[in-house]
Amino acid sequence: MASMRDIKRRRSSIQGTQQITKAMKLVSTVKLQRARVGAEHATPYFNCMYNTVGSILSKVGNIEHRYLQSGASTKKAVVVITSNRGLAGGYNSNIVKLITRHESWKPEDVVVYAIGNKGREALSRGGYEIKEDLPDVIEAPTYNDAKTLTDRLLEAFAAGEFGEIYLAYTYFKNTVVHEPKLIRLLPVEYEGQESEEDSKVIMNFEPEDVEALELIIPKYISSLIYGGLMEAVASENGARMQAMDNATSNAEEMIDKLGLMYNRARQGSITQELTEIIAGAEAIS
């Protein structure tokens, strides 16, 4: 059994760690509230853009457009959104697994635009090419950040550097449920179903449908990336809050166990001293 001094030292160390995890939980809780508001404000714009592009695609039929067809290159660009810091449970590893465990993807076929240090570090170790490293974007995401990245992605897509573009992020469902997602940005795909009312609406384009797509799809991609950033920030803080809450509870359990061990060791020490005193008194008499 460990000595009383060792138990006391370990208990003191865990109590210090518990104070840190409590503080981190409180900080994450405050950040989560702000991030959730940002995600909720971005959702209507994201849904509107998604439905608008889907409505256009459902009405124009099969048209040839560079944003609707895969490029000649077999490479795929993936915008990977993770955090700059750990201590968030499986938040970062779940996103990385979307890339590394994809059935048909090999490291040499993927170009990574890394938003967040944790994703960059993990994928770099896995042999993936890091095209751009953007750790500052995740700290305070703005729509301009998403637009700037979209412009660079479309420029590289037009130059034939890769044939498809994907976005890997974490969808914020609620405080305790965060779902890693991988969606395709280009070529544009629309999985929604048009409502009966929308199908009766006669849609005219000004300019023509191809020109309309040329203008709206870059905005559509920017809105998806921005929405992914806001969802990821909320998910990160939710995951960290949950992880720190679990760590605090585990520390409390360990402190209780160490307290019990300390009391038993102290009781054993007192019993031993009494036994030695009684034995000495009997020897003298």
Q: 202 is written with which tokens?
A: 């006669």
| Strands lying side by side in the sheet with 76-81 | 129-133, 110-115, 76-81, 164-172, 178-186
C-alpha span between 199 and 53 (Å, rounded):
14
CATH annotation of 21-191+205-243: 3.40.1380.10
Question: Which of 34, 37, 114, 109 lies closest to 82 in space, CA to CA?
Answer: 114
Backbone dihedral region for residue 87 (phi beyond 0: left; psi -120 to 50: alpha; all else: beta):
left
Question: Which of 23, 102, 81, 100 lies closest to 233 in space, CA to CA?
Answer: 81
Question: Which of 117, 156, 154, 123 lies closest to 138 in space, CA to CA?
Answer: 117
Q: Dihedral of the CA atoms 164, 165, 167, 168 (nearest 10)?
A: 50
Q: Where are the domains of the chain?
A: 4-12+247-284, 21-191+205-243
Taking only the tens of pLDDT, the chain with its 285 residues reads 567 888 888 889 999 999 999 999 999 999 888 888 888 888 788 778 777 777 777 766 667 778 888 878 889 999 999 999 988 989 999 999 999 999 889 999 999 999 999 999 999 999 999 999 999 999 889 999 999 999 999 999 989 899 999 999 999 988 888 999 999 998 887 655 554 444 444 555 566 667 777 888 899 899 999 999 999 999 999 999 999 999 999 999 999 998 888 888 888 778 877 787 777 777 776
Report whether 55 contacts 199 (CB < 8 A).
no
C-alpha span between 19 and 23 (Å, rounded):
6
Say what the pTM is: 0.83
Question: Which of 38, 26, 32 lies closest to 235 in space, CA to CA?
Answer: 32
Q: Which amino acid is at 133?
A: D
